[in-house]
Amino acid sequence: MITLYSYPNSRSLRAAWTLEELGLDYTCQYIDLTSGEGQGTEYLTRHPDGKVPALKDGELTLFESAAICRYLAERYGQGSLMPGDPTQRAKLDQWLFFIVSELEQPLWALGKHKFALPQERRVPAVIPTAAWEFQRALAALQREFDGEGWLVGEEFTIGDILLGHTLSWAKSAKQPLPNALEAYLQRCNERPARSAAQKREQEAQEAEA
């Protein structure tokens, strides 16, 4: 039995999207981050920092969105969402680490200092630097990936889930994207599994209302 702990429009979408791509049966459990449920004693046993996503699969509990996507693909993918060839898999790992460190972090710094951190913790002066760092990482991505096809190899992988999700955040943050990456993002967003994942997360929230 798989349970995903989620909150709509957050990084838990990456895990829900992976679950939907794999056609797995799972329970989507809404965690009300706005009411402090994340920091409650019970949820801290699922995620020690009280964040989403977290996953429970039998005896295993797991946090960190990239690790969850990777686990699901490796365990249940049967060759999909993750290349079998070690060289290609190394490339996939390279991009996963790049996305969650180099690409996502400046974008997240931007979001944190605009709206996510408590008001008294925000330092608006870092925003232009964070935007500059994000554009630098985006330029690095583009030197290796022109937006044609998928990020690694010929098939759609969890690398595209993480990149597609991160680029959609970039758009919400009004960061300019080159046309080729806009088109790539549109192809990611058109995947039925992405819409299904969003729907599941919203339904889980509504069920708790």
Ligand X SMILES: N[C@@H](CCC(=O)N[C@@H](CS)C(=O)NCC(=O)O)C(=O)O
Minimum CB distance to ligand X smaller for 46 or for 51: 51
Minimum CB distance to ligand X smaller for 38 or for 83: 38
Beta strands in the chain (DSSP E): 2-6, 27-30, 54-57, 60-63
Minimum CB distance to ligand X smaller for 53 or for 106: 53
Rounded to a whole number of angstroms, the minimum distance from the CB of residue 124 to ligand X is: 19
Rounded to a whole number of angstroms, the minimum distance from the CB of residue 65 to ligand X is: 4
CB 4 within 8 A of CB 21: no
Minimum CB distance to ligand X smaller for 40 or for 180: 40
**Residues 131, 89, 58: CA angle, nearest 5 degrees:** 95
For ligand X, the binding residues (CB under 6 A) are: 10-11, 33, 38, 50-53, 64-65
For residues 96-122, one letter each, b for 16 or more C-beta atoms within 10 angstroms of the residue's C-beta and e for the rest, the string is bebbbebbbbbbbbbbbbeeeeeeeee
Rounded to a whole number of angstroms, the minimum distance from the CB of residue 4 to ligand X is: 12
Rounded to a whole number of angstroms, the minimum distance from the CB of residue 131 to ligand X is: 19
Closest-by-Cβ residue to ligand X is 51
Residue recorded with tokens 């990777």: 70
Q: Tell me the one-letter amino acid at 196.
A: A
